[in-house]
């Protein structure tokens, strides 16, 4: 019985969402401009090394790659050319309409819009830091 209570307390204390995502970027000016233009987000905080946007309930922190080692040491910062290891997915009502708006804003789609075998319609694009964003319905 005591183990069940401890497990329930640990489960209840677990976070209910992601509060912030830090993305490493080589060109802060290009990344900031991209996030303001594409996502239409105002800058929430900015200093010499980072720019933070409020993206729904999640903060997106763009951090200069040169400042990243201090944050993740002893882990290593990978180069942008090393490849992609994640995709951020945003749920939208109309993938095709949003793709048209993105293209109007100068975004080059990586793929889509397309129907996926698992039953959703998606399209993807890459930000200036090499991070892949997917919109999905």
69-125 pLDDT, tens per residue? Answer: 999 999 999 988 888 888 999 999 999 999 999 999 999 999 999 999 989 999 999
Choose one of 64, 79, 94: the last residue of a domain.
Answer: 79
pTM for the predicted model, two decimal places = 0.82
What pLDDT score does 5 carry? 64
- Asked whether residue 118 is domain-assigned, the answer is yes
What pLDDT score does 85 carry? 81
Does 136 lie in the same domain as 89?
Answer: yes
Domain residue limits at 100: 84-137
Strands (E), 1-137: 20-25, 43-46, 50-55, 58-64, 87-91, 109-115, 121-126, 132-136
**What H or E segment, with its residue span, contains residue 32?**
helix 28-39
Choose one of 79, 103, 124: the last residue of a domain.
Answer: 79
- Asked whether residue 11 is domain-assigned, the answer is no
Q: Which residues contact 46 (CB under 8 A, 6 or more apart)?
A: 32, 52
Query: Can you give the CATH number for the domain in which 128 is found?
Result: 3.10.180.10
Does 92 lie in the same domain as 74?
Answer: no
């Amino acid at each position: 019985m005591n183990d069940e209570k401890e497990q329930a307390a640990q489960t209840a204390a677990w976070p209910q969402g992601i509060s912030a995502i830090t993305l490493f970027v080589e060109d802060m000016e290009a990344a900031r401009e991209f996030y303001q233009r594409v996502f239409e987000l105002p800058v929430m905080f900015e200093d010499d090394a980072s720019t933070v946007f409020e993206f729904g309930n999640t903060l997106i922190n763009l951090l200069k790659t040169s400042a990243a080692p201090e944050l993740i040491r002893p882990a290593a910062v990978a180069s942008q050319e090393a490849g992609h290891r994640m995709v951020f997915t945003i749920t939208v009502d109309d993938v095709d309409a949003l793709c048209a708006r993105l293209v109007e804003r100068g975004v080059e789609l990586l793929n889509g819009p397309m129907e996926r075998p698992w039953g959703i319609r998606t399209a993807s694009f890459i930000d200036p830091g090499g991070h892949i964003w997917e919109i999905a319905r």
